[in-house]
Amino acid sequence: MGFPDTRFSVNLSILFTELPLRERPAAAAAAGFTAVELWWPWPDAPVPERAELDSLRTALEDAGTRLVGLNFYAGQLPGPDRGALSVPGALSRGFRANVPVAVDFARSLGCTSFNALYGNRVAGVPAAEQDALALSNLTLAARAVAAAGGTLLIEALNATESPACPIVSAPRAMEVVDAVNAATGLDNARFLMDLYHLSMNGEDLPEVIDRHTARTGHVQIADTPGRGAPGTGTLDFAALLDRLRKNGYAGWTGLEYRPDGATGDAAFAWLPRPLRAAR
């Protein structure tokens, strides 16, 4: 596979997990990557101790890795929560508390891209009530992100793995993007195009790329089925990433796959080393 025009980042929350979190930036750098992204690293702590934040910041800086994407607090990810901002109670309160902390941490590292995951539907709470809560929290997040010169990302998951998530298609995610932008007037909400999730939903990926690239703020990839590395499944990533480029996408493409037991450099055998560093 050849991807000379793609800027890759590696997600340290799903890759290099054989190592403690603080050691992963250096491992990514040793494998040739200069850009990384993260799910919120403390699933039980929307507001972790300052020492935890400082330790991770130091690890990223010492490794020479650039943070290019960060999830807001989303509960246990992966896990039964899979999102927080639309779930009444402790999860949504955690999301709101997390927003200024996450924005401050990311901004200190030059990161301006933030993924806000919708929560699962919960029993006993009308969908309309959850959606209203989600819009309120997304509006809060979009304004905080805008103050940092950043972009708020809305991602569609897949219905097979997240059957209780209401955002499981590109059109539905775009509805949320539009609603947030209309509520804030800031136009800083964008689509996170995860080709793995969209493929699992049976969507026509070339059509999604043609229709939504102009409003896409970030791309993530893993192969289907299995969420493995590119080349382990059925997706033609050379063609898909080339199509994104031809549609004008020049942002980051996050590697968010399960390495199937491979560790270190071996988890990236499909990607020539010269193409791993940010260009």
C-alpha to C-alpha distance for 21 and 12, rounded to whole angstroms:
8
Q: For 110-148, write each residue's pLDDT tens digit.
A: 999 999 999 999 999 999 999 999 999 999 999 999 999
C-alpha to C-alpha distance for 8 and 28, rounded to whole angstroms:
12
207 is catalytic: no
Q: What is the pLDDT of residue 213?
A: 98
Give the range among 23-37, 50-64, 81-95, 194-208 with minimum mean pLDDT: 81-95
C-alpha to C-alpha distance for 63 and 151, rounded to whole angstroms:
25
Token output for 28 = 């990514």
Q: Does residue 31 belong to any structural domain of this protein?
A: yes
Q: Does residue 2 belong to any structural domain of this protein?
A: no
Average pLDDT over every residue of 24-45: 97
Token output for 217 = 């703020």
Res 81 pLDDT > 60 = no
Res 80 pLDDT > 70 = no
Q: Give me the number of domains the chain comprises.
A: 1
Find all residues with CB under 8 Å of 161, minimum gap 6, and list them: 200
CATH number, residue 70: 3.20.20.150
Angstrom CA distances, 76 to 53, 72, 122, 248, stand at 18, 12, 15, 34
Average pLDDT over every residue of 47-65: 98
Phi/psi at 2 (nearest 5 deg)?
-125, 130
Q: Which domain holds residue 55?
A: 7-275
Average pLDDT, the chain: 95
Q: Does residue 1 belong to any structural domain of this protein?
A: no
Tell me the whole-structure pTM to 2 decimals. 0.96
Cα dihedral across residues 127, 133, 135, 138: positive or negative: negative
Instruction: State percent of the chain over pLDDT 70.
Output: 97
Q: Does residue 155 belong to any structural domain of this protein?
A: yes
Residue type, 118: Y
Of 52, 61, 129, 155, which one is the catalytic site residue? 155
23 is catalytic: no
Q: Does residue 117 belong to any structural domain of this protein?
A: yes
Q: What is the pLDDT of residue 79?
A: 65
Q: Does residue 11 belong to any structural domain of this protein?
A: yes
The answer to whether 220 and 38 are in contact (CB under 8 A) is: no
